[in-house]
Structure formats: structure tokens, C-alpha cells
Amino acid sequence: MSAAFLLASAATVCLAQTQPSATKSNPVYRIQLTLRDTEAGQQPNIRKFMMVTEERDWGRLRTGGKVPYSTGAGQFNYADIGTNITCRVFEHGDQVRIDYEVELSSVAKIDAETRNPAMFQHKVSGTSTVALEKPTIVSTWDDAASKKRYEIEITPSKISQ
């Protein structure tokens, strides 16, 4: 082996050990999501959810339960009901772009004859650019089966670089 090769190899090893790590963590965001449903003349039902996620990573929040329904004599399956929220954040100057999906499901009533539940489901997804620290309504809709109106508000906050 030549002395030049050994010297070059040793220099490379020393250089590699003194280089700072090239991995840089993504900024971290707190996403507060507020769901409101209102019916004419009544106080709104307000539910708040919060998650912390790194930029570009999907944040997921699932809450709810399982409702049994009959598929035949003595046989049952279970339907998931509740709230499912999925979102991810991208820095966009002094604002953020948020990809989101919100799914709401609930039992409307139980059929007296079959004892099976009738369920409602609402699902909305989209992409919105919003200001940091500013509550922003990103979606509204009216329920076709009732007089309820739904609203989704997102408030993003940057909590670390």
C-alpha cells in the first residue's frame, strides 16, 4: 500500500467524523381543528381536536366506537362510527398549506323490526392555505337529511423549527 493512499484514507475518516450530521428535522406544527354543527334556533355543538405533527407527515386522529348490526340469523358485523381526522402541513411562506380529510359518522336510529342501526356519514377533504395562529373556516355544508349545518375551522401553530 502506498503512503499516499493511507494518508488519504486517514484524512477521509477524520473528515467524516468531524462533519455535522446532515439530517435536519422538519418543523413541528400544532393543528387545532374545531367542528361545529348547528340546527336552526339552537346553540351550536362544538367539538375541538388537537394534534401535533411534523411538516409533510400525516397526522391522524380517530375517536368513536363500533356498532353491531345483523348480517343473518345470529351473525353480526360491526360498523365504525365517530370522528376521523387526517391532515398534513406544508410551509408556504408565512402561511401553511394543509391537506385534510374529516369523516363524521353516527347512528341515526335503530330499525324496530331488524334492530339494525341507520347511520349518517359526512366526509370532506381538501387543501387550504391558511395563516399561522389564525382560525380559518375551511369547509361548511348542510346536512341533506336534517336541518343541521356543519363547519370545520383549522388553526395551525408552529411550535418548533
Q: Can you give the residue ranges of every domain in the chain? A: 23-160
* Helical segments of 3-160, H only: 3-18
Please determine, for residue 21, whether its predicted confidence score (pLDDT) is greater than 90.
Answer: no
C-alpha cell at 40: 336552526
Please determine, for residue 123, whether its predicted confidence score (pLDDT) is greater than 80.
Answer: yes
Q: For residue 15, what pLDDT is reported?
A: 44
Please determine, for residue 3, whether its predicted confidence score (pLDDT) is greater than 50.
Answer: no
Q: For residue 41, what pLDDT is reported?
A: 79
Going by pLDDT thresholds of 50, 70 and 90, the confidence category of residue 114 is: confident
Query: Residue 64 — φ and ψ, nearest 5°?
Result: 155, -150
Provide the β-strand partners of residue 59.
Answer: 87
Q: For residue 93, what pLDDT is reported?
A: 85
Q: For residue 23, what pLDDT is reported?
A: 64
H or E segment at 136? strand 136-142
Which has the minimum average pLDDT: 12-21, 58-67, 115-124? 12-21
Can you tell me which residue has the cell 336510529? 109
Q: For residue 6, what pLDDT is reported?
A: 40
Please determine, for residue 121, whether its predicted confidence score (pLDDT) is greater than 80.
Answer: yes
Going by pLDDT thresholds of 50, 70 and 90, the confidence category of residue 8 is: very low
